[in-house]
């Protein structure tokens, strides 16, 4: 006899609805047509996600290393937990409270993300917690807060996309990164809509664009300014909207005046005719959207890039109206909720600021602690990793649901820093490349074995339901944190029950920017999700934001002038080419999960290097040749894949693999001054045939 559990895919921020069908010990994925985000559609990763549930590589007991350089061995839970607490106390006594760090993950449920942030501040009293979501959409978040007063990836539901006459998509390839979303773009096209795509690569998404803007890597802000210049010169601005609903346009007008089309063509490589066509398609459309993703955001000037495109949307009056607006296509499964409730170094639950006295006092009241004991802001993700094992840096690190050895920039340096720690704890489903370096490894439940909420890219709070029991010997992250808190003398502040954690999260978020006070498990189940902000149980939720006013103090959106500046590391004689990184359809993030799924591995078995045939001829490289890439940080090796879809000055490498093909051995950790986002998308590289 079979049974079905309605739940959600464990991968990207679409959080597609699916049914998990149980027949004895066998669990398979079935469509869930009633869920509005994906309407039954799934990508190959979603259809194969159940292959992970009973995977033979699953960790089913704790592992411990008796001494540095020794081998990991299985152990009992009490031994592992006692060792963790002993190491934490030793580090605190020797180096101080801030010598303990936590690195979290964008795949954790809201409950676990909330509990992790609270554990850092209450049980450990350390400021040093951040998460891999810092590497995802932190630049868009910072720009959104500056312009609109709030950060929600999409301030409108996906169902609004087909109603926009024109869509400008910058640095995103959803046809590969989140394929089920393409049904909205296909409906948009069937209605006669125009898609404009800006990307250094003619991706599968760009192949269907009405206008393709193949810009030079790192020139996104100049492109936005150039489009706005043309809109100004050709009378396409919405002056009534600018006057009634925005502030600060005069400073942007003065800045953009110098971005005449010929100059922007020289900077970006995009022909004037394409710039003009794109500007007119945007400006003449009754409704239009601007959507950014990692291409524009994962730069040391990512916030400025996003601000420049927000300026364009505002000046054209394409915001705060139905089927209009700026949005960010969030990448990680709970990248949105993961930062809203406490995993970021500078934030408390509900998007409260940790250095705001009123915010601190409110959260202290919810937690039942003295406000003075809550630490201040800590280091951002890369800065935290960069100081591991150094004087004044973190000496004992807890990693949850993240594989920084593969996912962090300048990866060989991160390996060195991890090895310099006094103590490393990793909680994961599998023995990832990061877990393999740990002193203690804890086996945790995965998506189908737990209950909790997630928040997708629309701001829709969803319910993940348990479909199977975890293997014997496996515990949830909440159970682990509660057990550690008990041993640290702070157990009275914590519970391991997801529903109880969520009830506290609701209270903690109440009145904050990300207000979940009116969201309940029952409402989520009845409504297929609830959009935040939702301040009370009789509030309907907010699928569409900004229709009446923006979330700023005066209710107006704010322009911010942006001047083009060079990338942190431009090509030169020694490293003559641009390197950019990204994803492929059959793999996800660091590959800890997807590289273990046979069908996905068959489709994308190894790293590769995309290179234009003309560039390949210069270096004597043929399709399938092994090549060596080198930057100022390291070298990687992979097979060449020749394609005319990429610029002739640019090389592309996906970042899902470990070993010699690891893309992040090459990438530049130069940080955006506001978001602290590393410059994953651009650095200078050399290439040679092996």
Ordered by start, the domain boundaries in the chain are 2-52, 92-130+361-531, 154-329, 577-689
The answer to whether 602 and 669 have CB atoms below 8 angstroms apart is no
Task: Read off the pLDDT of each residue in 269-286 and give the average, rounded to a whole number.
Answer: 98
Residue 376, token pair as written in the block? 């201040």
CATH number of the 154-329 domain = 3.40.228.10
pLDDT at residue 71 above 70? Answer: yes
Position 1 scores a pLDDT of: 64
Q: Which residues pair with 683 in a beta bridge?
A: 579
pLDDT at residue 385 above 70? Answer: yes
3-state helix, strand, coil in the chain (%, to 5): 35, 20, 45
Does the 577-689 domain belong in CATH 2.40.40.20? yes
Predicted confidence band of residue 634 (pLDDT cuts 50, 70, 90): very high
d(CA 418, CA 416): 5
The answer to whether 292 and 309 have CB atoms below 8 angstroms apart is yes
The answer to whether 521 and 499 have CB atoms below 8 angstroms apart is yes
**What is the pTM assigned to this prediction?**
0.97
User: What CATH class is the domain 92-130+361-531?
Assistant: alpha beta
Query: Which residues contact residue 313 at a Cβ distance below 8 angstroms, ignoring those fewer than 6 apart?
Result: 288, 289, 290, 319, 324, 325, 326
Query: Which residues contact residue 505 at a Cβ distance below 8 angstroms, ignoring those fewer than 6 apart?
Result: 110, 111, 114, 341, 349, 516
Predicted confidence band of residue 2 (pLDDT cuts 50, 70, 90): confident
Cα–Cα separations (whole angstroms), residue 645 to 18, 168, 214, 610: 34, 19, 10, 9
Q: Which DSSP symbol is given to 444?
A: B
Give the CA angle between residues 467, 500, 350 to the nearest 5°.
Answer: 105
Position 102 scores a pLDDT of: 98
The 10 Å CB-count burial string (b at 16+, else e) for 364-382 is bebbebeeeebbeebbbbb
d(CA 299, CA 296): 7
What tens digit of pLDDT does each residue of 77-92 get?
999 999 999 999 999 9
Predicted confidence band of residue 24 (pLDDT cuts 50, 70, 90): confident
The answer to whether 272 and 261 have CB atoms below 8 angstroms apart is yes
Q: Which residue, 524, 529, 526, is CA-closest to 459?
A: 529
CATH number of the 2-52 domain = 2.20.25.90
Q: Which residue, 10, 22, 4, 6, is CA-closest to 49?
A: 10
d(CA 165, CA 450): 41
Position 302 scores a pLDDT of: 98
pLDDT at residue 178 above 70? Answer: yes
Predicted confidence band of residue 339 (pLDDT cuts 50, 70, 90): confident
Task: Read off the pLDDT of each residue in 29-40 and give the average, rounded to a whole number.
Answer: 96
Task: Read off the pLDDT of each residue in 100-127 and give the average, rounded to a whole number.
Answer: 97
């Amino acid at each position: 006899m079979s049974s079905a559990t309605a739940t959600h895919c464990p991968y990207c921020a679409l959080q597609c609805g699916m049914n998990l069908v149980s027949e004895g010990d066998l669990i398979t994925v079935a469509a869930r047509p009633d869920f509005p985000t994906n309407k039954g559609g799934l990508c190959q990763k979603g259809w194969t996600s159940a292959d992970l549930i009973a995977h033979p590589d699953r960790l089913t007991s704790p592992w411990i290393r008796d001494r540095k350089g020794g081998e990991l061995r299985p152990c009992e839970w009490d031994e592992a937990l006692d060792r963790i607490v002993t190491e934490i106390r030793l580090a605190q006594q020797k180096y101080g409270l801030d010598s303990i760090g936590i690195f979290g993950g964008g795949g954790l449920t809201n409950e676990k993300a909330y509990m992790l942030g609270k554990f850092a501040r209450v049980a450990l009293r350390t400021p040093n917690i951040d998460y891999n979501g810092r590497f995802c959409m932190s630049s868009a978040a910072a720009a959104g807060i500056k312009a609109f007063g709030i950060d929600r990836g999409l301030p409108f539901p996906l169902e609004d996309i087909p109603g926009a006459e024109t869509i400008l998509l910058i640095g995103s390839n959803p046809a590969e990164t989140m394929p089920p979303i393409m049904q909205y773009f296909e409906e948009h096209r069937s209605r006669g809509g125009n898609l404009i795509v800006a990307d250094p690569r003619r991706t599968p998404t760009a192949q269907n664009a009405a206008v393709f803007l193949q810009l030079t890597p790192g020139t996104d802000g100049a492109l936005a300014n150039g489009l706005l210049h043309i809109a100004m010169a050709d009378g396409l601005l919405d002056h009534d909207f600018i006057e009634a609903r925005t502030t600060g346009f005069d400073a942007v007008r003065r800045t953009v005046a110098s971005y005449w089309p010929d100059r922007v063509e020289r900077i970006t490589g995009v022909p004037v005719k394409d710039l003009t066509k794109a500007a007119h398609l945007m400006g003449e459309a009754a409704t239009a959207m601007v959507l950014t993703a990692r291409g524009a955001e994962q730069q040391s000037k990512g916030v400025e890039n996003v601000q420049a495109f927000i300026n364009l949307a505002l000046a054209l009056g394409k915001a705060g109206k139905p089927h209009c607006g700026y949005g960010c296509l969030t990448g990680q499964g709970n990248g949105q909720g993961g930062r809203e409730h406490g995993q970021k170094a500078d934030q408390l639950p509900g998007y409260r600021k940790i250095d705001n006295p009123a915010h601190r006092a409110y959260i202290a009241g919810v937690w039942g602690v003295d406000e003075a004991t809550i630490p201040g802001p800590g280091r951002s993700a890369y800065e935290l990793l960069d100081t591991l094992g150094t004087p004044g840096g973190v000496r004992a690190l807890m990693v949850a649901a993240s594989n920084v050895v593969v996912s962090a920039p300048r990866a060989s340096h991160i390996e060195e820093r991890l090895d310099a720690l006094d103590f490393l704890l990793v909680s994961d489903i599998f023995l990832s490349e990061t877990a393999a370096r740990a002193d203690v490894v804890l086996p945790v439940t995965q998506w189908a074995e737990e209950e909790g909420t997630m928040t997708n890219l629309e701001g829709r709070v969803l319910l993940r339901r348990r479909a199977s029991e975890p293997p014997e010997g496996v515990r949830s992250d909440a159970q682990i944190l509660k057990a550690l808190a008990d041993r640290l003398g702070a157990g009275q502040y914590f519970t391991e029950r997801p529903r109880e954690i969520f009830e506290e999260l609701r209270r903690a978020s109440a009145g904050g920017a990300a207000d979940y006070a009116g969201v309940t498990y029952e409402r989520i189940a009845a409504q297929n999700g609830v959009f935040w902000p939702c301040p009370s149980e009789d509030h309907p939720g907010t699928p569409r934001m900004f229709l009446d006013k923006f979330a700023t103090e005066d209710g107006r959106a704010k322009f911010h002038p942006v001047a083009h500046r060079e990338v942190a590391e431009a090509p030169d004689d020694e490293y003559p080419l641009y390197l950019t990184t990204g994803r492929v359809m059959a793999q996800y993030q660091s590959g800890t999960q997807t590289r273990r799924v046979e069908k996905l591995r068959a489709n994308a078995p190894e790293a590769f290097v995309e290179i234009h045939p003309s560039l390949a001829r210069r270096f004597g490289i043929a399709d399938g040749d092994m090549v060596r890439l080198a930057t100022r940080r390291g070298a990687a090796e992979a097979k060449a894949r020749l394609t005319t879809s990429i610029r002739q000055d640019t090389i592309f490498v996906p970042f899902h693999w470990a070993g010699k093909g690891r893309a992040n051995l090459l990438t530049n950790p130069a940080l955006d001054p506001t978001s602290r986002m590393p410059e994953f998308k651009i650095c200078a590289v050399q290439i040679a045939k092996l």
